[in-house]
Structure 1
Amino acid sequence: MSNGFSVKSLGEFKNIQRIDLKEALGFTSCEISINTMEANTNVPFVHHHKENEEVYIILDGNGEIKLDNELILIKTGDIIRVAPSVKRQIFAKTQLNYICIQAKENSLTQYTFSDGVVE
């Protein structure tokens, strides 16, 4: 990444259930993973974070996400934001493909309109 950018193809990650892009692309500000869960499986643990919020983008399939003590149906097209302290676990009813983005809560100080420089 000495030139300031990195490029990968999803084809480089065939048959991998979790693609961690932080290492693959050298992210320094967030963690992004692309995940595939087989039907009738679940993340084998409940977890929460110390500082990082997560955003789940459901690309394909359906299932449920347990947030604290609430079980919520999820399906293709859903976007879920979860605060660090909320305990979470995902359950796939069908094959479930999703992106998970993790970043420190309240750390975004600039975004496209205030950080972008038009040349």
Structure 2
Amino acid sequence: MSNYKIVSTKNEPRVELKEALNLSGCELSINEFGANVSVPFVHSHKQNEEVYLVLEGGGVLFIDGEEVEVKKGDAIRIDPAGKRCFKTGSNGMKYICIQAKKDSLEQFTMSDGVINEDVKPSWL
């Protein structure tokens, strides 16, 4: 059994990758909306925080009663209880959304990563 999985994403308005990649610690989606389109509901979560990475375009994030402009290059972290909704601007918006259980990350790259000296790719 291999230690990785690669899938090609489709050019669709929403691509969910949890099942396609067999993700067990987070949920990942790629979302694209045309100009001046709104997500049709405000939502929050029971336990998952979300991170949004705006790849193209921009718009307005409604969060807990506030409206905040977001644009290409922005990274936004929202607590599970945050009541959120997006509306795109005149150029639409493409973003990645990552969900994970709040406070579940026990280690990250600096404490979890291990350098393996026993194998090397052809370019090293």
Which TM-score band applies after superposition, normalised by the shorter structure?
over 0.9
Aligned to 1:8: 7
Distance 1:21 1:71 in 2: 29
Q: Is 2:28 the partner of 1:29?
A: no
Distance 1:36 1:62 in 2: 11
Distance 2:19 2:33 in 1: 21
- The offset of 1:33, in angstroms, is 0.5
Gaps of 5+ in 2: 117-124
Q: Following superposition, which runs of at least 4 residues in structure 1 exceed 4 angstroms of deviation?
A: none
- The offset of 1:62, in angstroms, is 1.3
Instruction: State the TM-score, normalizing by the size of structure 1.
Output: 0.93
Q: Is 2:100 the partner of 1:99?
A: no
Distance 2:50 2:106 in 1: 17
Distance 1:90 1:41 in 2: 8
Aligned pairs (5 A) from 1:1-119: 2-10=1-9, 13-14=10-11, 16-93=12-89, 94-119=91-116
Distance 2:53 2:31 in 1: 10
Distance 1:79 1:115 in 2: 23
Gaps of 5+ in 1: none
Percent pairwise identity: 47
CA RMSD of aligned residues (A): 0.9
The residue identity in structure 2 corresponding to 1:5 is Y
Q: Which has the higher helix share?
A: 1
Instruction: State the TM-score, normalizing by the size of structure 2.
Output: 0.89
What SS does the corresponding residue of 2:110 show, helix, strand or coil?
Answer: helix
Render the CA deviation track for 1:7-33: whole Å, top value 9, x for unaligned: 0123xx12x111111111110000010
The residue identity in structure 1 corresponding to 2:111 is S
What SS does the corresponding residue of 1:114 show, helix, strand or coil?
Answer: helix
Work out the number of aligned pairs and report it. 115
